Amino acid sequence: MKITSLTALQVLDSRGNPTVEADLTLEGGATGRALVPAGASTGEKEAVELRDNDPMRYGGKGVLHAVVNVEGEIAKALLGQDLADQADLDHRLIALDGTPNKSRLGANAILAVSMAYARALAAANGKPLYRQLTDQTSYVLPVPCLNVLNGGRHADNNVDFQEFMIASHNAPSFSESIRMSVETFHALKALLKQKGYYTGVGDEGGFAPNLKSNEEAVELLLEAIGHAGFRPGHDISLCLDPAASELYEAGEAGQPGRYRLFKSTGQCYTSEQFNELWVSWVNQYPIVLLEDGMGENDWPGWQLHTKSLGSKIELVGDDIFCTNPAILQAGIDQHIANSVLIKLNQIGTVTETLDTVHLAQRNHYNQFVSHRSGETEDTFVADLTVAIGAGHLKTGSGSRSERIAKFNQLLRIERELGSAGHFAGIKAFKNQ
């Protein structure tokens, strides 16, 4: 499986910002292409995207240096080399970069090559990508968690919390689940329009109106579910990602930090008070998953949060874990969360992503696969979700083609698997 050709190109993501695309050819002619996404709400410990910082081009966000690294140093190190497997390639890339966070060559450069190689291997072996990642006799099709109302960093409105999602779990198949979800999305649009609210969408395709309160976002979702002909909590439940790291203010001189609702009331909460807010929401609303309910640097707050809600719903760590197995292990040791968000570009290679997945599985943590707010037409995460049996993923809303592309890929996979594919349903969520 020698690489005979490796090229890269600066292309655009869904926000019109540059990103890296890599094309790779193996001996024998099999090819693979991959495009790398980018986040807006990013964890401090994520692998580092390499940007050009040239204010005269794309406001400094160009990735030409990363492209040069792929076609130069990375290609020179890989072309013609005997590679045993995906892990062999990825470990060579990690060693070549030589930094703990991939900042020298760029995680965007490295991940583009890693994903393209996985696709080329799949082509060479005559397999779909999900089977190349894990070849087994049966697979789980995920519950799609659609981010239908946006706030926080993902929208220019007065809603503090970043993502309000619907999860259509009471369905016999993925295709029926996505139908239920999209019908609810359209019912929500009609409801917003009826109430005189703005129906433009945010970065991930969800609506981004100015609302009377953060609670109203939840209440609108429940109303829309009913208008679409479904029962909240029975057919469709809620998932939240408040992205609490964006709301957290560290304390000074050893003082505890606090959470501030910057966009709405300006109200401040201690960690204990913020946790109680989530406890009250979980008691009041049909919430089955809460992601980043506490800030990435508030580990004591996360411990309290997990003690309070970890036996009731799925608590997903995103910014706090950054798809990093070493950090996830620390979280496991300290009883933080019960699920980990999986984002390829947080860690920077396919192998390290799978290492995190396997660590989570060994410790009975769920895995919740995710896109990024700056996405592309690449559908790698759809195959990854099926490959690892995650049972649920978030990849946007019922609009924007870079989001819908992932759903369409899952529909193709469902048809291809036939009876070898089983829909996860409510059991996808921890403690449900």
Amino acid at 84: A
Cβ-based neighbour number of residue 300 at 10 Å? 14
Pairing of strands 392-394, 143-150: parallel
Number of neighbouring beta carbons within 10 Å of residue 297:
16
Distance CA 321, CA 298 (A): 12
Rounded distance between C-alpha atoms, residue 89 and residue 360, angstroms: 23
**In 10 A of CB 408, how many CB atoms?**
14
- Counting beta carbons within 10 angstroms of the beta carbon of residue 311, is it exposed (0 to 12), middle (13 to 18) or buried (19 or more)? exposed
162 is an annotated ligand-binding site residue: yes
Q: Strands 31-35 and 392-394: what pairing?
A: unpaired
Contact (Cβ atoms closer than 8 angstroms) between residue 365 and residue 336: no
Three-state SS at 181 = helix
Q: Do 176 and 184 meet the contact criterion of CB atoms below 8 Å apart? A: no
Q: Supply 6's token pair.
A: 């490796």
> Has 241 been labeled as part of a binding site?
yes
Closest CA to 133 of 289, 356, 354, 309: 354
Whether residue 373 is annotated as binding a ligand: the answer is: yes
Residue with token string 């995650």: 390
Q: Residues for the chain: how many in total? A: 432
Angstrom distance (rounded) from CA 371 to CA 408: 15
318 is in an annotated binding site: yes
- Residue 73 among the catalytic residues: no
Cα–Cα distance, 325 to 323 (Å, whole number): 6
Considering the candidates 61, 102, 343, 430, report the single residue annotated as catalytic.
343
CA end-to-end span of the chain: 44
Checking DSSP bridges between strand 268-269 and strand 258-260, what pairing results, if any? Answer: antiparallel
The span from the CA of 30 to the CA of 24, in Å, is 8
Active site residue 343: yes
DSSP per-residue codes, 248-265: EEPPSTT---EEE-TTTT
Tokens of 407: 């759903």
Among 21, 49, 163, 204, the one annotated catalytic: 204
Name residues whose C-beta falls within 8 Å of residue 14's C-beta, 6 or more positions apart in sequence: 203, 373, 374, 375, 376, 400, 402
372 is in an annotated binding site: yes
As annotated, the binding site for (2R)-2-phosphoglycerate includes 162, 343, 372-373, 394
As annotated, the binding site includes 162, 241, 291, 318, 343, 372-373, 394
As annotated, the binding site for Mg(2+) includes 241, 291, 318
Cite the active site residues.
204, 343
